[in-house]
Amino acid sequence: MTYTDRQQKRAEIRAMFKSNVRRRLWVDKIVVGTVIVCALMAIIPLIWILGTAVYSGVPALNWEFLTGKPGAVGAGQISIGPAIQGTVIIIALTSLIGLPIGIMGGIYLSEYGGNSRFAKQIRFFMDVFMQVPSIVLGIFAFLAIVLTLGYYTVWAGAIALSFIMFPIVARSTEEALRMVPWTYREAGAALGLSKMVITLRIVLSQAKKGILTGVLLSISRVGGETAPLIMTILGSNIFFSGFDSSTDALPLRIWRLSLQPYDEARIAGWGAALTLVIIIFAIHLGVRYFFLRDKSGKGLRGVLRG
């Protein structure tokens, strides 16, 4: 092989290498471009939805709409006062049932259960239960409570929703408690405190930020839930009138309004949707701003994402 031959061979290889690299870089660019398009395709609907909610919902919003009693549809003013009131009541009752169970469950998983087999099973079933189709919980609450009592009641809805709430709260409480350094507990034990006192006074108070985050996010999840409410609180046109009659809730009202063929109903539906979205996003952004700003909070959000 002469010198020029070798030179030629080298040039060939170099050209091959160059074209190969060029191809690979192109493929890389195309993939990155595709990936950006993917993100846009997810973000655009979100912005579109929020934009429509604001655009179509704002005209409906006024004091009468938010607080008044709904009149006859197609004839006059539609109002979502009872729906807002019902949502507040139902969230309060749901929290009354769901929070104690959830927080105690979280305490068990973090402080007592540890890595025992029982605790692992409970953790597993909570994760699975979090994803159970929510309408099934509604059916259960209907069969167990509405059928037994003989009337629609806000308690049935609250119990169905508490089934959604307590696993979320339990898992996020567990994560929050685990972040409290072990030495704090040892310090408490060295002072001769019982485990209950250590848990309640030291660990819980250290983890309250994390627990509150989980609680608020679970409330925002529960507040938008519609399916289980259809057969438990039914919806009504009047303000809350006792625990033995049907109640209204915002998501339920939105659904009912969407079924009506009137333009007013559609505008009112968007007004109600905007109200609901504002409430839920306020909780989310508030949590984000006050609790999750500096820390990554990875474990916690990991739970809530599931």
Interface with another protein in residues 34-63 (CB under 8 A): 34-39, 41-43, 45-46, 48-50, 52-53, 56
Near another protein by CB under 8 A: residue from 59, 76, 100, 286: 100
CA–CA gap between residue 112 and residue 173 (Å, rounded): 13
Question: Which CB, 31 or 238, lies closer to another protein?
Answer: 31
- Nearest of 64, 93, 61, 74 to residue 273 by alpha carbon: 61
- HSE, CB side, 13 Å, CA atoms: give it for residue 29: 6
- The nearest distance, CB 67 to another protein, in angstroms, is 21
CA–CA gap between residue 68 and residue 145 (Å, rounded): 30
- Is 27 near another protein (CB under 8 A)? yes
- The nearest distance, CB 163 to another protein, in angstroms, is 6
- The nearest distance, CB 71 to another protein, in angstroms, is 21
- Is 214 near another protein (CB under 8 A)? no
- Cα–Cα distances in angstroms (integers) from residue 17 to residues 6, 10, 24, 31, 48, in the given order: 16, 10, 10, 21, 46
The DSSP output letter for 282 is H
- The nearest distance, CB 195 to another protein, in angstroms, is 6
- Is 302 near another protein (CB under 8 A)? yes
- Cα–Cα distances in angstroms (integers) from residue 299 to residues 1, 110, 123, 166, 289, in the given order: 64, 14, 14, 18, 18
Stretch that binds another protein, among 12-20, 103-111, 183-191, 203-211 (CB under 8 A): 103-111
Residues 161-200 that bind another protein (CB under 8 A): 163, 166-167, 170, 194-197, 199
